[in-house]
């Protein structure tokens, strides 16, 4: 600002001096005043610059101090931001760790609870009274909403400890006093002999002994082993605690499979009402098949050359000989040949009709009762299917009433559904085979008679042709 003022003054002075060069002294006086003002202005400028210099250094120092303070504040702000971010990261990490630990605790609680449930399932029926309270406490701890995972695991650890103790006892064998259901259905007192995965039972008086299995009731059931061959050994071990014991390498699976085998009467009893019509059709079909086998196989079978022998006798004019040969044949073929010999002199077309009439009369006798076997083959699977539908309806009714928890409740309807289908197929398949065999045999027999009739008719035609030729 001061430099602009000075420049303006100098320019003005130059102008004034140029103007005053050729003018009067008035202009010189003005010039003098201008120089005086210029000097005063320069002096004032120097004073102002001096004041500025004096004030500039403190201001610069103050500015530098403020800049340093700002840098310090920024560094502190950055540090606080980093600490804040680190704090957030640490909190998130801690929360994730806490979540992971909780999930692990829940997993351990569920795992130990699953072990408790599996132990209750695997434990022998004789051991259930020993561990029932422990199982109930374990279940209550798992179902309680107020218990933490640690509380649930603590309750399951007691079950795990009991399971380890059980393994130690079973390795060397143990005896347990209890009750079991005898084969006659009575509840008897005695001792259970547990050795590894197998369990035996012997009554206190030693009269009843055998393997112990879980039955339909809460009490174990005594099952005889090899018709009581080892009862004495089992009773001895139950009384003394030592001795030889029978072992089953299949862990009871062989006995379980053997117990599931059913007799034919048992299956019929489980088949329901529709199995009886199937059995009725089966019995009748068997009787019909046996009768037809006897009837068809006892039918007389003439020699293939018999027709030609009769034609030869007729050709030679030996009608009596032809009648004798025809009468020697029994059954439908004999009747066919007898009709042919008696009427060989008739018109050939009429003779063929008379022979064919014999075949038509024979066909119902030969084919009779065979359609019943065919009907049995067709109806039996349908009755089995009807029994299947009825059994499934009964099964769904049981599900509606009792639910799906107990498979034994549903086994009745399922057995009815499967057994009726089984019996239907068992009856239908042999019926189809019998019908095919017998009908084929019957049709073959009728075909043989047709062949005889055709041969006889053609032979008679040839005989008449020969006679006409001879006469001519």
Paired strand residues for 379: none
174 within 8 A of 194, measured Cβ to Cβ: yes
Q: Look up residue 449 and give its two tokens.
A: 């008679």
CA distance 391 to 217: 26
CA distance 81 to 94: 20
325 within 8 A of 306, measured Cβ to Cβ: yes
Residues 6+ apart with CB under 8 A from 399: 410
Provide φ and ψ at 205, rounded to 5°. -90, 0
Angle between helices 275-297 and 370-402 (to 10 degrees): 170
Q: pLDDT at position 21, please? A: 47
Averages of pLDDT over runs of 10 residues in the chain (472 residues) are 52 51 67 82 80 76 81 84 74 78 75 72 69 72 70 72 70 73 78 73 76 68 70 73 70 64 72 86 93 89 80 80 82 83 81 85 88 92 88 78 65 75 91 93 89 82 68 48
CB atoms near residue 471 (< 10 Å):
6
CB atoms near residue 121 (< 10 Å):
7
Burial group, residue 100, by CB count within 10 angstroms (0-12, 13-18, 19+): exposed
Residue among 209, 211, 217 nearest 258 (CA)? 211
Q: pLDDT at position 435, please? A: 93
Q: pLDDT at position 409, please? A: 62
Residues 6+ apart with CB under 8 A from 449: 332, 333, 336, 358, 359, 362
Q: Look up residue 160 and give its two tokens.
A: 């795990």
- What is the torsional sign of CA 412, 415, 420, 421? positive
406 within 8 A of 458, measured Cβ to Cβ: no
- Give residue-wise pLDDT tens across range 283-320: 999 999 999 999 888 888 878 777 888 888 877 778 88
Residues 6+ apart with CB under 8 A from 370: 288, 292, 435, 438, 439, 442
Residue among 223, 222, 221, 244 nearest 233 (CA)? 244
Q: pLDDT at position 461, please? A: 79
Residue among 223, 274, 269 nearest 248 (CA)? 223
pTM of the predicted protein model? 0.52
Percent of the chain with pLDDT over 70: 77
Residues 6+ apart with CB under 8 A from 137: 155, 158
194 within 8 A of 155, measured Cβ to Cβ: no
CA distance 203 to 289: 56
Q: pLDDT at position 20, please? A: 46
Q: pLDDT at position 283, please? A: 94
Q: Look up residue 378 and give its two tokens.
A: 């067709």
């Amino acid at each position: 600002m001061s430099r602009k003022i000075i420049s303006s003054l100098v320019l003005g002075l130059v102008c004034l001096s140029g103007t005053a060069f050729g003018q009067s002294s008035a202009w010189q006086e003005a010039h003098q005043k201008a120089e005086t003002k210029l000097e005063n202005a320069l002096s004032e400028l120097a004073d102002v610059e001096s004041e500025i210099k004096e004030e500039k250094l403190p201001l610069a120092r103050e500015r530098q101090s403020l800049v340093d303070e700002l840098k310090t504040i920024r560094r502190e702000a950055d540090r606080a931001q980093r600490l804040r971010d680190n704090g957030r990261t640490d909190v998130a990490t801690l929360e994730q760790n806490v979540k992971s630990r909780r999930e692990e605790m829940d997993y351990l609680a569920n795992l130990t609870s699953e072990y408790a449930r599996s132990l209750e399932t695997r434990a022998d029926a004789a051991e259930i009274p020993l561990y029932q309270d422990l199982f109930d406490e374990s279940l209550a701890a798992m179902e309680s909403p107020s218990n933490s995972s640690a509380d649930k695991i603590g309750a399951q650890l007691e079950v795990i400890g009991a399971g380890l103790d059980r393994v130690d006892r079973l390795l060397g064998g143990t005896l347990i006093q209890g009750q079991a259901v005898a084969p006659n259905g009575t509840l008897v007192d005695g001792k259970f002999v547990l050795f590894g995965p197998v369990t035996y039972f012997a009554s206190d008086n030693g009269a009843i002994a055998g393997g112990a299995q879980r039955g339909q009731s809460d009490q174990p059931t005594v099952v005889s082993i090899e018709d009581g061959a080892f009862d004495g050994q089992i009773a001895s071990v139950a009384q003394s605690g030592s001795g030889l014991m029978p072992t089953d390498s299949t862990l009871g699976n062989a006995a379980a499979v053997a117990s599931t085998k059913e007799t034919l009467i048992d299956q019929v009893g489980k088949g329901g009402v529709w199995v009886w019509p199937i059995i009725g059709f089966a019995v009748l079909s068997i009787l019909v098949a046996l009768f037809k086998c006897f009837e068809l196989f006892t039918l007389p079978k003439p020699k293939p050359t018999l027709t030609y022998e009769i034609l030869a006798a007729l050709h030679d004019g030996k009608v009596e000989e032809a009648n004798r040969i025809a009468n020697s044949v029994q059954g439908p073929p004999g009747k066919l040949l007898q009709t042919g010999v008696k009427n060989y002199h008739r018109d050939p077309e009429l003779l063929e009709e008379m022979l064919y009439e014999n075949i038509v009369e024979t066909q119902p006798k030969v084919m009779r009762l065979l359609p019943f076997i065919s009907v049995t083959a067709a109806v039996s699977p349908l009755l089995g299917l009807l029994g299947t539908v009825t059994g499934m309806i009964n099964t769904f009714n049981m599900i509606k009433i009792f639910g799906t928890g107990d498979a034994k409740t549903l086994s009745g309807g399922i057995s009815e559904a499967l057994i009726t289908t089984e019996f239907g197929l068992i009856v239908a398949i042999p019926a189809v085979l019998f019908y095919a065999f017998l009908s084929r045999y019957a049709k073959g027999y009728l075909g043989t008679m047709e062949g005889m009739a055709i041969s006889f008719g053609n032979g008679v035609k040839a005989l008449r042709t020969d006679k006409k030729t001879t006469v001519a």
